[in-house]
Structure 1
Amino acid sequence: MRYGVFIILLIGLSACSNWRSKQSKFNFKASIPEKFDKANIISEENYNVWGTNILKGKDGKYHAIYSRWPKKRGHLGWVTHSEVAHAVSDKLTGPYKFRNLVLPPRGTDFWDGSCTHNPHVIDHNGKFYLYHMGNHGSGYWDDTADTLMPKYKDAEWWVNRNNQRIGIAVADDLNGEWKRFDKPLINIDSTRRMVSTPVVSIRPDGKFLMVYKYVKEKEGMKGGRVVHVTALADSPLGPFKDTGIPFIETEASRFALDDHVEWFQNGHYYCIGKDHDGSLTPYDKGTMVLYTSDDEGLDWSLAKQALVLKAGKLHWIDGSETICERTADMPKLYFEKGILKALIIAVLPKDSEDSFSLVIPLNNR
């Protein structure tokens, strides 16, 4: 009996070692070109663009679902004036032409009536599921000049920020109507000031894994520590139940991880995320890094080849450079027929209020 247990243990250790070995060989950075093409920028003349998903529609075209808000409101207007928009292209890399608003403002009587932001879209069984942050303010911003830029010092900015909740919208076609709901999918409780930034992936067991963040309740407008958690559901519509397992964090940091995306590929789970304050890795804050997990997506560790994209500067094929305040936020991935084809990032140049998204076609691996 003991001999049998020993054999099983050896088999288990061998499988685990093989899994770790395969993961350690995964080098995402090797698929990213050293220089980028400005022709692959997704932008709008009068709006900031952020957090762009790209999906292939039933019409064979490429559809971008993204956040936008007026440039006149400045970068911090994302929390007060963002809306989720839709643009279309014949090519993955664009150019993309604005078509319509997906989640427009609908009034402060609704939980997401003032702002919708950070969309994350999945395609499942012929339907599209759009997870997003939504909030409402007091109505204060409606009576201000459209050139007034919200700032951290404004108490009303924090009203919108602290009303952030997580919601979902559903459509049968990317060109069609999106069904919105009058209640959030993930709400707050007595321990959570706000919840935001949902990313959902489909596990090999058919369950839906959501990773999202919340701010711990604490006296004052800002609240406490930022915590990322995981939740599971049997349906893309939920209900999502927290696993009680923290995501990627360090005890010493108030806000370690930010913008991230998870996916399952070749028997393993992966996460690209931003080392928000430099506490997770030896790299500079804002660097995009790779984490790995088993097939459940609950126990995560820094990949052996962790670096994905350094923070600070983008190099263009025309020989120019862009110094960045935010180099690679809100990463999204584009798959076609199960093959990873592109990484999409959000960029804010240094000393600028105007942001854009960039489609990065990945080298064949």
Structure 2
Amino acid sequence: MSTVSSAVSATAFAFAPISPDNGFRQPDYWTWCPSIIRAPDTKAGGRMRWHMFASRWPKWLPFHPGWMVASEVVRAVAERAEGPYEFAGVVLPARGAEYWDGRSTHNPTIRYHGGRYWLFYMGSTHPFADFAPENAGELDTDHPACIVARSMKRVGVAWAESVRGPWHRLDGPVLPTKPGTFYSFLTSNPAPWIHNDGRVTMLFKARAWRGHVRGPMSIGLAEADEPGGPYRVVNDSSGPLFSPEPPVRFGEVEDPFLWQEGGEGGVFRMIAKDMTGRLCGQAHAGILAESRPGAGGKPLDWRPGTPPLAYRRELGYTDGTRRTVGSMERPFVHFENGRPSYFCAAVSNGKNGFSDATETWNVVLPLVSGETLGLASGEGEPMPCP
């Protein structure tokens, strides 16, 4: 599989300028992981509104690894896709260490199919006491709570008949780990695509045990006959689709987002965070990759897109200014009438990813037309508004 090592200037996605109040933020929380859907709001007389599902955790915790032990999935609402969004409530709160997702919920992706809203997410648990502002400084990646919580990360699904809930959570993850595989340590960051018949094709992040420690990130492929599962890992024996370990397959990427163009039989495309910049030319920017369906319609053979750089870590504003952000992660694309219309991302200030961030927020960027993007028109995601 080929890779791209030189910087490129063109981007696959082009964004319209945004206003300063775009998106969703909360001053006392780190906000991350945006995913939007347009749906009727019973508290607004059934009027169609925009709902953003996101993750948050208190700012008195460090950004990283605070999310591992205290993140919760929330919902915010807006009259326009671009926002501003107002906090509407906690969707997946902590529910006790005995549950697989009892201490942290993160990485939400919202979908609608078959009369239900499906919320894909990462859940985790650990047996240690809650942190408080007084001892938050003790939390780092070597803290036992963090070590255990990382190893307990699993992919799960919740569902509801209304975008407001109540949400039905499962007693176990839909994508558990498996010894002897590339996902023996954790499964996380679900990127589902729901087909018209209800089948699900899903990319996910994985790590394997390497002795008594974790290995690097890789990407796997799972599928199910319906959104609630059960899920099967397609590349169980053949190894990860994306991995920095020999034999290198593409490289190290994170936060995949998956869609299929033109309906069944169409090209699968993925955008993801390039961890090093070796693939798209800018570290932590977005890479575009594509795969034509192989045997059984499965996207197993991935190649760099044209162009491979999906987006830069840069925001443009309506006053003409531009800003390079420290992070631009967790990409999510909203489709309308089969075309990509809005691009969501979690961003941070600072210059070194989120390591020096003092503020994070979620943005919703209007996309230019599909023709300009070079992205084919098709059926789009079967995510109708009820």
> What range describes the TM-score normalised by the shorter chain of this pair?
0.7 to 0.9
Aligned to 1:363: 368
Give the whole-Å Cα distance in 2 for the aligned partners of 1:67 and 1:256: 24
Which piece of structure 1 moves more, 290-299 or 111-120? 290-299
Note the alpha carbon deviations across 1:68-94, whole angstroms, 9 max, x for none.
Answer: 111111211111110000111111111
CA deviation after TM superposition for structure 1 residue 264, in Å? 1.3
Higher relative contact order, structure no. (Cα contacts within 8 Å, ≥ 6 residues apart): 2
1:119 aligns with 2:108: yes
CA deviation after TM superposition for structure 1 residue 57, in Å? 1.0
Counterpart residue type for residue 223 of structure 2: L
Give the whole-Å Cα distance in 2 for the aligned partners of 1:249 and 1:132: 22
1:50 to 20, 24, 32: 32
Give the whole-Å Cα distance in 2 for the aligned partners of 1:143 and 1:90: 35
**SS in structure 2 at match of 1:283:** coil
1:207 aligns with 2:170: no
CA distance change for structure 1 residues 321 and 71 in 2, over 3 Å: closer, same or farther? farther
**SS in structure 2 at match of 1:72:** coil
CA distance change for structure 1 residues 140 and 48 in 2, over 3 Å: closer, same or farther? same
Aligned to 2:221: 230
CA deviation after TM superposition for structure 1 residue 204, in Å? 6.4
**SS in structure 2 at match of 1:40:** coil
Aligned residues: 334
Which piece of structure 1 moves more, 331-340 or 42-51? 331-340
Counterpart residue type for residue 185 of structure 1: V
Structure number with the higher helix fraction is 1
User: If the length of structure 1 is used for normalisation, what is the TM-score?
Assistant: 0.85
Counterpart residue type for residue 100 of structure 2: W
**SS in structure 2 at match of 1:94:** coil
Aligned to 2:70: 81
Which piece of structure 1 moves more, 313-322 or 240-249? 313-322
1:95 to 84, 92, 95: 84
Aligned to 1:40: 22
Give the whole-Å Cα distance in 2 for the aligned partners of 1:116 and 1:277: 27
CA deviation after TM superposition for structure 1 residue 165, in Å? 1.1
CA deviation after TM superposition for structure 1 residue 293, in Å? 1.5
Aligned to 1:107: 96
CA distance change for structure 1 residues 223 and 43 in 2, over 3 Å: closer, same or farther? same
Structure 2 residue ranges without an equivalent (≥5): 1-9, 42-47, 351-355, 371-386
**SS in structure 1 at match of 2:52:** strand
Aligned to 1:12: none
Give the whole-Å Cα distance in 2 for the aligned partners of 1:87 and 1:162: 30
Counterpart residue type for residue 303 of structure 1: G
Give the whole-Å Cα distance in 1 for the aligned partners of 2:164 and 2:198: 27
Counterpart residue type for residue 260 of structure 1: P
**SS in structure 2 at match of 1:39:** coil
Give the whole-Å Cα distance in 1 for the aligned partners of 2:100 and 2:108: 16
**SS in structure 2 at match of 1:51:** strand
**SS in structure 1 at match of 2:168:** coil
CA deviation after TM superposition for structure 1 residue 146, in Å? 6.8
CA deviation after TM superposition for structure 1 residue 45, in Å? 1.7
Asked which structure has the greater CA Rg, the reply is 1
Aligned to 1:7: none
1:72–1:149 CA contact under 8 A, matched in 2:
no
Give the whole-Å Cα distance in 1 for the aligned partners of 2:142 and 2:171: 31
Aligned to 2:285: 287
CA deviation after TM superposition for structure 1 residue 229, in Å? 0.7
CA deviation after TM superposition for structure 1 residue 41, in Å? 2.9
CA deviation after TM superposition for structure 1 residue 356, in Å? 0.9
User: If the length of structure 2 is used for normalisation, what is the TM-score?
Assistant: 0.80
Note the alpha carbon deviations across 1:289-342, whole angstroms, 9 max, x for none.
Answer: 21112243222111121212124x44434355544331x200011122333210
Alignment of 1:1-365 (within 5 A): 29=12, 31-33=14-16, 35-59=17-41, 60-76=48-64, 77-142=66-131, 145=134, 147-148=136-137, 150-191=139-180, 192-203=184-195, 207-220=199-212, 222-244=213-235, 246-252=240-246, 256-266=252-262, 267-279=266-278, 281=279, 283-295=281-293, 296=297, 297-311=299-313, 313-326=314-327, 328-350=328-350, 351-365=356-370
Give the whole-Å Cα distance in 1 for the aligned partners of 2:280 and 2:92: 39
1:332–1:343 CA contact under 8 A, matched in 2:
yes
CA deviation after TM superposition for structure 1 residue 110, in Å? 0.8
Aligned residues with identical type, % of pairs: 28
Give the whole-Å Cα distance in 1 for the aligned partners of 2:207 and 2:13: 35
Counterpart residue type for residue 332 of structure 1: F
CA distance change for structure 1 residues 215 and 250 in 2, over 3 Å: closer, same or farther? closer
**SS in structure 1 at match of 2:149:** helix
Structure 1 residue ranges without an equivalent (≥5): 1-26
1:73–1:149 CA contact under 8 A, matched in 2:
no
2:12–2:288 CA contact under 8 A, matched in 1:
no
The alignment yields a C-alpha RMSD, in angstroms, of 2.3
2:153–2:186 CA contact under 8 A, matched in 1:
yes
Which piece of structure 1 moves more, 246-255 or 270-279? 246-255
Give the whole-Å Cα distance in 1 for the aligned partners of 2:144 and 2:120: 27
Give the whole-Å Cα distance in 1 for the aligned partners of 2:339 and 2:207: 35
1:65–1:86 CA contact under 8 A, matched in 2:
yes
Give the whole-Å Cα distance in 2 for the aligned partners of 1:53 and 1:358: 10
CA deviation after TM superposition for structure 1 residue 106, in Å? 0.6
